[in-house]
C-alpha cells in the first residue's frame, strides 16, 4: 500500500512532544512491513532542514481567502529516516523556528493543509490512504471531500485521523471561514462544533476512520473530551484505539549515544548507577538516594502544577530520603516556581527549565523512578521509554498509563500506580518508591529486568494500522 501521513511534527525534523515521536517512527515501521510510506509536514527553519539535502518536487500556488500564496514541496534526497519525507515551504507563514505558538497559527496551518491538498490533487500519482494527525491537519478530510477544487480527484481516497490529544482542537471563528477554499456550504455543519469551526471535530466527522492512541483514552473521551464527548460517543462505530509504540532504535540504552554508559538488562544496575552518577554530578544531587524524575510539558494536563507542593511535601515527609529532578517547559508561572525551588531544596531537588532531547535520554537512563501524575494521558511515551531504560514508572491510573503499567502489588507488576492527580497520592507513592529502593532490593532488581524486556516496539501497532487501512478499500 501507499500511505501518506500529514502532520505538524516529525522527529527528528521537528518535535514538541509525543506527536513528533509517533510520526517519526510509525512510517518507518510501516515501510519495514513492505509499504510505501510518506510523511508531509511544514518546512520550519530547523537544524534538520539545513543539515540535509533536498530535491524540489513541486511548486504551486493557492489562495488563503483573497490572498494568493506560492508554495513548494521538497523531498529529502536519501530516505534518511526510512520513509519519504516531504516538506511544504510557504514563505512568510511556515518558515519559522518554532512549530507552534504564533498569533497566526490558524493561517499557518490552514495554508499548509490547502497546499497539501493542492499538491496531492495535482500529483498524477495518488496514495491509497491519507493519514492525518491532530487538529493542525484536521480539515484535510473535509477539504478532500467537499472543496470543489479537490474533491473530483481526491474524495475517493480513504482518510484516517489519529487523535493524539483532544484537549487542543484548533478552534477557528466563523469570521475566518472565508480563508477556506470554496466548499459545498450545505456541508458547513461538518466543520462546526458549538458555533465555531472546530478542526478536530471536523476530522472526527469527516474521516473514514478515527483512531486514538490507547483504548482507555478512547473510553475516557466519551466522558470527557474538552466538549467533544458527545461526538466521540456518536462516532464510536468508526473509532478504535491503537496503542503507540516506541522507536526501539532511537530509544535503546545499549546503543544510545546521549547517555553516559550504555547498558542492557544484564547489567542494568551497573549501567544505571553510572548514568545516575553523571546526572547527580551535573545537578548536585546524592547518587546514593533514589532519584525520582519528571520529564514533560509543564501544563495542567500533565498535573505539573502539583509538582512544587508534591515535591516539597515528599522531601519533608520522607526526611529527604529521595532526590527529585524536573525537565520541562510550559506555563511561565510554573517554570518560575520550579526554578526557584532549587535554592530552597538545594541537594534534594533540581530542575532544567527548557527543552533538551539529550538530557531527557540521560534522565531516562540515570533516574530510578519516573513520575507521571497526569490528569489526561492519551498514551504517554515517557513511561514506555522509562520501561525500556529500567526506570520504574510512577503513574496515575489513566489513559495509556492505565494500559501499559501494572502496579507492583499486582501479579508480575513492575510500576507504582495511584488513582488521583493529587499531592497526597504523589507523596504516598514517593514513600512506596523509597521503600522499594531501600528495603525490597530483590523485587526491585526483578522489576527492572522484567520491564526492560517488555516489547513496546511499533511492530504490532504498525501492522494494526495497515489492517485498518485495508479494511477501508
Contact positions vs ligand ADP (CB under 6 A):
17-19, 21, 165, 295-297, 327-329, 355-357, 360, 379-382
Nearest to 355 by CA among 56, 35, 97, 113: 97
Q: Which three three-digit cell numbers place residue 315?
A: 522531601
Q: How far apart are CA 239 and CA 161, in angstroms?
A: 10
By beta-carbon proximity to ligand ADP, the closer residue of 108 and 388 is: 388
By beta-carbon proximity to ligand ADP, the closer residue of 1 and 353 is: 353
Give the shortest CB-379-to-ligand ADP separation in angstroms: 6
Give the shortest CB-68-to-ligand ADP separation in angstroms: 35
List C-alpha distances in Å: 102 to 9, 10, 96, 97, 106.
16, 19, 9, 11, 9
By beta-carbon proximity to ligand ADP, the closer residue of 189 and 332 is: 332
Nearest to 44 by CA among 111, 78, 77, 90: 90
Give the shortest CB-381-to-ligand ADP separation in angstroms: 4
Angle CA 44–48–50, to nearest 5: 85
Q: How far apart are CA 58 and CA 44, in angstroms?
A: 17
By beta-carbon proximity to ligand ADP, the closer residue of 216 and 360 is: 360
Q: Which three three-digit cell numbers place residue 378?
A: 492519551
3-state secondary structure of 36: strand
Contact between residue 384 and residue 370 where contact means Cβ atoms under 8 Å apart: no
Q: Which residue is nearest to ligand ADP (CB)?
A: 18
Give the shortest CB-380-to-ligand ADP separation in angstroms: 4
Give the shortest CB-11-to-ligand ADP separation in angstroms: 8
Backbone angles phi, psi at 24, to 5 degrees: -80, -20
Give the shortest CB-165-to-ligand ADP separation in angstroms: 6
By beta-carbon proximity to ligand ADP, the closer residue of 111 and 329 is: 329
By beta-carbon proximity to ligand ADP, the closer residue of 120 and 365 is: 365
E-strand ranges in 369-456 read 369-372, 392-396, 416-418
Amino acid at each position: 500500500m501507499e500511505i501518506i501521513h500529514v502532520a505538524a511534527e516529525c522527529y527528528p525534523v521537528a518535535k514538541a512532544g509525543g506527536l513528533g515521536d509517533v510520526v517519526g517512527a510509525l512510517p518507518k515501521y510501516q515501510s519495514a512491513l513492505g509499504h510505501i510510506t510518506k510523511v508531509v509536514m511544514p518546512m520550519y527553519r530547523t537544524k534538520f532542514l539545513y543539515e540535509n539535502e533536498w530535491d524540489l518536487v513541486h511548486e504551486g500556488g493557492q489562495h488563503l481567502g483573497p490572498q494568493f500564496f506560492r508554495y513548494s514541496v521538497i523531498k529529502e534526497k536519501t530516505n534518511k529516516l526510512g520513509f519519504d519525507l516531504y516538506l511544504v515551504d510557504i514563505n512568510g507563514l511556515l518558515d519559522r523556528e518554532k512549530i507552534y505558538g504564533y498569533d497566526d497559527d490558524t493561517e499557518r496551518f490552514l495554508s499548509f493543509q490547502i497546499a497539501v491538498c493542492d499538491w496531492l490533487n495535482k500529483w498524477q500519482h495518488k496514495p491509497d490512504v491519507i493519514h492525518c494527525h491532530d487538529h493542525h491537519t484536521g480539515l484535510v478530510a473535509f477539504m478532500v471531500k467537499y472543496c470543489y477544487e479537490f474533491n473530483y480527484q481526491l474524495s475517493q481516497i480513504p482518510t484516517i485521523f489519529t487523535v493524539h490529544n483532544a484537549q487542543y482542537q484548533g478552534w477557528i471563528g466563523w469570521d475566518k471561514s472565508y480563508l477556506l477554499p470554496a466548499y459545498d456550504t450545505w456541508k458547513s455543519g461538518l466543520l462546526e462544533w458549538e458555533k465555531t469551526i472546530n478542526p478536530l471535530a471536523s476530522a472526527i466527522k469527516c474521516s473514514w476512520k478515527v483512531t486514538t492512541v490507547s483504548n482507555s483514552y478512547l473510553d475516557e473521551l466519551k466522558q470527557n473530551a474538552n466538549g467533544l464527548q458527545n461526538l466521540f460517543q456518536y462516532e464510536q462505530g468508526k473509532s478504535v484505539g491503537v496503542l503507540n509504540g516506541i522507536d526501539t532504535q532511537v530509544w535503546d540504552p545499549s546503543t544510545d549515544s546521549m547517555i553516559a554508559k550504555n547498558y542492557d538488562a544484564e547489567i542494568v544496575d551497573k549501567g544505571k548507577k553510572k548514568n545516575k552518577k553523571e546526572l547527580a554530578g551535573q545537578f548536585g544531587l546524592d547518587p546514593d538516594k533514589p532519584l525520582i524524575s519528571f520529564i514533560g510539558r509543564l501544563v495542567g494536563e500533565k498535573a505539573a502544577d502539583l509538582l512544587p507542593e508534591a515535591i516539597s511535601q515528599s522531601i519533608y515527609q520522607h526526611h529527604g530520603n529521595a532526590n527529585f529532578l524536573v525537565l520541562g517547559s510550559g506555563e511561565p508561572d510554573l517554570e518560575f516556581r520550579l526554578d526557584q525551588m532549587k535554592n530552597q531544596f538545594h541537594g534534594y531537588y533540581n530542575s532544567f527549565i527548557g527543552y533538551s532531547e539529550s538530557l531527557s535520554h540521560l534522565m531516562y537512563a540515570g533516574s530510578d523512578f519516573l513520575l507521571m501524575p497526569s490528569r489526561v494521558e492519551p498514551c504517554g511515551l515517557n513511561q514506555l521509554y522509562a520501561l525500556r531504560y529500567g526506570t520504574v514508572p510512577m503513574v496515575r491510573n489513566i489513559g495509556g498509563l492505565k494500559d501499559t503499567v501494572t502496579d507492583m502489588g499486582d501479579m508480575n507488576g513492575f510500576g507504582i500506580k495511584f488513582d488521583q492527580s493529587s499531592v497526597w497520592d504523589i507523596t504516598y507513592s514517593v514513600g512506596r518508591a523509597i521503600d522499594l529502593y531501600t528495603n525490597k532490593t530483590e523485587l526491585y532488581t526483578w522489576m527492572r529486568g522484567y520491564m526492560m524486556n517488555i516489547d513496546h516496539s511499533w511492530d504490532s501497532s504498525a501492522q494494526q494500522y495497515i489492517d485498518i487501512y485495508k479494511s477501508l478499500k
